Amino acid sequence: SCSRAKDVTMPAKVPVNFFPPRSPVVDLFRGQLDHAEQLRQGSEIVLYFFYAPWCGHSIAARGEIERVASSLSDQVLFVAVNCWWNQGKCRKQKHFFYFPVIHLYHRSFGPIEYKGPMSAVYIEKFVRRVMTPLLYISSRSKLLDFLSNYEPGVVGFFEFNASPQPPGYLTFFTSALHSLKKDYLGTIRFGVVTDKRVAEEISLVHSGSVYLHRHANTSLIYPKDIMNFTAENICKWALENREMLIRWLRPHGGKSLLLNNELKKGPALLIFIPYNPLEEIHPLLDEITKVALEYHKCNKSQAAEPHLQHVGDSDSPAFDPSVPDAHLQFSQTFPIAKYPCCNTVVLPQWHSISRTHNVCELCVNQTLGVKPNKVHVPRCNFLEIEAALDSFYLQEHTFFQVISNTIECSNFLSFYSPFSYYTACCRTVNRHFLSFIGSEKTIFQTPKVAFSSHGKKDNTQFSIPHIEDRNCFIPDLNISSTNITGLSCRTNKTLNLYLLDSNLFWIYAERLGASRSTHLKEFAAIVDLKEEVHYVLDQNQSLVGPTLENFIKNFSVLYSPLKRHLVDDPSVHSHEEHTVTEVTTNTFHETVFLSAKNVLLLYYAQWCGFCASLNHIFIQLARLLPPDSFTVARIDVTRNDLPWEFMTDRLPTILFFPHQRKEQSVKFPEDFSVNLPNLLKFILHHSSHSSSEPCTKECLQKESLLQQGHISHLEREIQRLRSEISALHQAHDQLEAQLSEARREEQRLQQQKHTLEKQHKTLQLHNEQLQATYDQKNQELLEMAEKLQELADASENLLKENALLRILVAARGGKLQSKDEIKEPLQSEQTLSEDNDISLSTAPAALEEKRIDNIDTIETEHNENRTE
């Protein structure tokens, strides 16, 4: 090939519009950063979208940015800059490691980088926060609203009637903007109060003071005397001291240890809800927040703060009537005093396999137990229940024996106080009936019992065993809600609470076993990384406050009724018939233990190379073994969890479960190579040896069945051999054909050889002839040469004669001169003869040359002959 094109190169294509021409986004696709800066001068809020045209993430984010721009373009300037084009200003000045990058400016403040999800609603929410970083709080009710939010709130109090620009206000405003830089999710909210009376609610007196609200711990006031009042300090202070009762988890998609770090802290409750940050109200989120607040409400005295009640049991519905309160219903139906304080207790069984349990309804009456320090309605305090439980478990043994379907009640004294006693009504139920206990609550007639409170407060070291709430499936009843209060401080199985937006992170829910069919993307799971277990809130229940509370409580108790969730592969359809039976979590027990066959089970994973290359061996095995007595099965353990005792730590693992001795499974020894003969030997060795028994009728029947199997096997074998024979025949025919083809070819070659030989002969003949003619020619030439030689000799003689003649002539001439000196014409004759002389002498030389030429040509001719 030619080398011309070797060094051909082509510069990158010139950039074109990235956004459509009519887009509300200004598209500087040649990377004109200077122009971008100019544009910024005229606008209060600017969003820069730095992109690379080849970048998939930029392309995916383009539509989202357009959506945000179309709803905010009247207030915000959207500028997209191609920061890849290497002749553009942007590329020369900025050095990005990824695209797209979003920067926001609030007047001169910026850039604030947006690092949240590339989804229009999230971006818009963030832009709006940059537009109004401070929320103006005008009234008491607004303040309570602001503070009741689950996200930490910072309130600044500035009196504007004294001066139009109260000292510190600008700093506070900047710190709000500044917080958005650090905390891209905007979890800390900043508000400003201008009314002195409103400020008093949170005991702010002086203008310029800043307050950080906390729910479970004491709220803080910014220590001006210790720290300088700067924007950065305020922001840092708020970030350090904020309270994280419940946290959003928003993995950014790149390599990150976020979940690792959070889950390593301990068991975590992950709650997945669909979340639209732009929506004004989030009833479900409020409900979850309430649970989180209750869960973390350790210090009782804190509960006295009035505004805390705003979220959950807002006893002042007059507050802010503009917001239709979704949880108003709860607060109205809160007749706690009418209900006795009861709890259902499930007693553990000695045999874990046993499917029955003793269930006891344990009650204390509160009518007499009014606590002087509590102003609110008397509640079923968890501490009290706990105390009752303490007493109850001291007597526990008496309740183990109860095995009846009727309810038996007994009263017993409190361990702590001689004046209080409790009632316990117990009965035995099957495990799966547990879920119906709630609906059977009428069975439990709770007698009124005198009760007096006791002062036991701190007993975190004391774990509270097996509480199964009676209301677990009746979410609209609120009795249980009190039990969770402050639970986080009293249990040694503290949960961290997290929220995930199921619009973005539903995949985690699916991984934890969320059903794929459900339309409602709500899901809750407790993940314990250390114990390698997770529990799932039954997806048939709606995700509301009470169910969550029950879930948390069930987790916290010592003998937790929660069962480790086993994720099952939904993509396997059990009705599909495969040669090798595909087992899942759900079909494991049935296929392996309940079937009356020998089962060979392969644990595998699709990604493991060592497993996949064995597929053909197991298929062959399944085809060989009689299907009515053997099952060859496999389970993909990446997609199917199994009970601990059936887990394996290496793949592939091969287990054999012999018929009738299923519990005595045998593992295929790992140091043997997995092939058909070895597997057969392994199975033969371990399958049941029934031959030792004496043969009865039944045995004969079995035997005949077996032999029938054998016959059909042999028939299959014959079939196989037949097809093999036919294959061999085919191959034979093919070979035959090839052979005859080869023979024909040979013949053809033979013929070719003959003709070639003939040709060779004629050529040889020709060659000889040529040789002969050559010799002949040569001879002739030699003769010619001889003749020429003779001629030359003759000419030499002639020359000599000529010279003699000249001498003669000269002698004659002399004589003539001497005789008659006057005769002129004789002289001219002499000159003529001299001329003759010269031409004669050159002739022989020319002849010589001609001869040499002749020989040369003959020689070359000869050479040519040879090469032919």
Partner 1 sequence: GLDVASYRERVRAMFYHAYEHYLESAFPYDELRPLTCDGQDTWGSFSLTLIDALDTLLILGNVSEFQRVVNVLQEGVDFDIDVNASVFETNIRVVGGLLSAHLLSRKAGVEVEAGWPCSGPLLRMAEEAARKLLPAFQTPTGMPYGTVNLLHGVNPGETPVTCTAGIGTFIVEFATLSHLTGDPVFEDVARKALKALWKNRSDIGLVGNHIDVITAKWVAQDAGIGAGVDSYFEYLVKGAILLQDKELMSMFLEYNKAIKNYTKFDDWYLWVQMYKGTVSMPVFQSLEAYWPGLQSLIGDVDNAMRTFLNYYTVWKQFGGLPEFYNIPQGYTVDKREGYPLRPELIESAMYLYRATRDPTLLELGRDAVESIEKISKVDCGFATIKDLRDHRLDNRMESFFLAETIKYLYLLFDPDNFIHNDGSDFDVVVTPFGECVLSAGGYIFNTEAHPIDPAALHCCRKRKEEQWEVEDLMREFYSRKKTKKFTLKRAPDRGEGENAKDPEDVSSEKAGEKRNSKKSSHSLLSCPSQSFNSKLAVLGQVFLDNT
Minimum CB–partner distance for residue 291 and partner 1 (Å): 23
Binding piece for partner 1, criterion CB under 8 A, among 68-76, 164-172, 425-433, 731-739: 731-739
Q: Is 432 in the site for partner 1 (CB under 8 A)?
A: no
Site string for partner 1, 538-577 (x = CB under 8 A): -----------------------------x----------
Q: Is 694 in the site for partner 1 (CB under 8 A)?
A: no
Binding piece for partner 1, criterion CB under 8 A, among 47-55, 212-220, 376-384, 813-821: 47-55
Q: Name the token pair of 39.
A: 């544009």
Q: Is 355 in the site for partner 1 (CB under 8 A)?
A: no
Q: Is 60 in the site for partner 1 (CB under 8 A)?
A: yes
Q: Is 409 in the site for partner 1 (CB under 8 A)?
A: no
Omega into 348 within 30° of 0, i.e. cis? Answer: no
Q: Rank residues 723 and 789 by Cβ distance to partner 1 and give the closer one.
A: 723
Q: Is 610 in the site for partner 1 (CB under 8 A)?
A: yes
Q: Is 616 in the site for partner 1 (CB under 8 A)?
A: yes
Q: Is 533 in the site for partner 1 (CB under 8 A)?
A: yes
Q: Rank residues 96 and 559 by Cβ distance to partner 1 and give the closer one.
A: 96
Enumerate residues 6+ apart whose C-beta is below 8 A from 633. 580, 581, 582, 583, 591, 592, 599, 600, 601, 602
Helices (H), 25-161: 33-41, 56-72, 89-93, 120-131, 140-148
If one counts every other C-beta atom within 10 angstroms of the C-beta of residue 71, the result is 15
Binder of partner 1 out of 39, 59, 131, 858 (CB under 8 A): 59
Q: Is 671 in the site for partner 1 (CB under 8 A)?
A: yes
Q: Rank residues 97 and 350 by Cβ distance to partner 1 and give the closer one.
A: 97
Q: Rank residues 417 and 638 by Cβ distance to partner 1 and give the closer one.
A: 638
Q: Is 199 in the site for partner 1 (CB under 8 A)?
A: no
Minimum CB–partner distance for residue 517 and partner 1 (Å): 17
Q: Which of residues 650-669 bind partner 1 (CB under 8 A)?
A: 650-653, 655, 664-667, 669
Q: Is 647 in the site for partner 1 (CB under 8 A)?
A: yes
**Encoded amino acid at 366, one letter:** Q
675-691 b/e (C-beta count within 10 Å ≥ 16 → b): eeeebeebbeebbeeee
Beta-ladder partners of 632: 600
Tell me how many residues contact partner 1 (CB under 8 A).
121
Binder of partner 1 out of 170, 377, 450, 612 (CB under 8 A): 612
Binding piece for partner 1, criterion CB under 8 A, among 239-247, 248-256, 404-412, 802-810: 248-256
Classify 723 as helix, strand or coil: helix
Binder of partner 1 out of 369, 626, 813, 844 (CB under 8 A): 626
Q: Is 606 in the site for partner 1 (CB under 8 A)?
A: yes
Minimum CB–partner distance for residue 516 and partner 1 (Å): 12
Q: Any idea of the CA torsion for 827, 832, 838, 840, to the nearest 10 degrees?
A: -130
Q: In the 8-state DSSP scheme, what is residue 641?
A: -
List Cα–Cα distances, 447 to 387, 439, 478, in angstroms.
18, 19, 21
Binder of partner 1 out of 295, 473, 551, 618 (CB under 8 A): 618
Q: Name the token pair of 52.
A: 């690379």
Bridge-based pairing of strands 209-212 and 189-193 is unpaired
Terminal Cα-to-Cα distance of the chain (whole angstroms): 34
Bridge-based pairing of strands 341-347 and 408-413 is unpaired
Q: Is 258 in the site for partner 1 (CB under 8 A)?
A: yes
Binder of partner 1 out of 206, 355, 713, 743 (CB under 8 A): 713
Beta-ladder partners of 87: none
Q: Rank residues 460 and 734 by Cβ distance to partner 1 and give the closer one.
A: 734
Omega into 627 within 30° of 0, i.e. cis? Answer: no
Q: Rank residues 191 and 513 by Cβ distance to partner 1 and give the closer one.
A: 513
Classify 303 as helix, strand or coil: helix
The Cα–Cα gap between 239 and 621 comes to: 64
The Cα–Cα gap between 88 and 691 comes to: 88
Q: Which of residues 627-646 bind partner 1 (CB under 8 A)?
A: 634, 636-638
Q: Which of residues 574-593 bind partner 1 (CB under 8 A)?
A: 578-580, 582
Binder of partner 1 out of 512, 536, 600, 632 (CB under 8 A): 512
List Cα–Cα distances, 868 to 167, 763, 854, 865, in angstroms.
114, 10, 22, 5
Q: Is 257 in the site for partner 1 (CB under 8 A)?
A: yes
Cα radius of gyration (the chain): 53
Binder of partner 1 out of 1, 41, 442, 857 (CB under 8 A): 1
Binder of partner 1 out of 8, 14, 594, 822 (CB under 8 A): 8
Q: Rank residues 281 and 711 by Cβ distance to partner 1 and give the closer one.
A: 711
Enumerate residues 6+ apart whose C-beta is below 8 A from 742. none
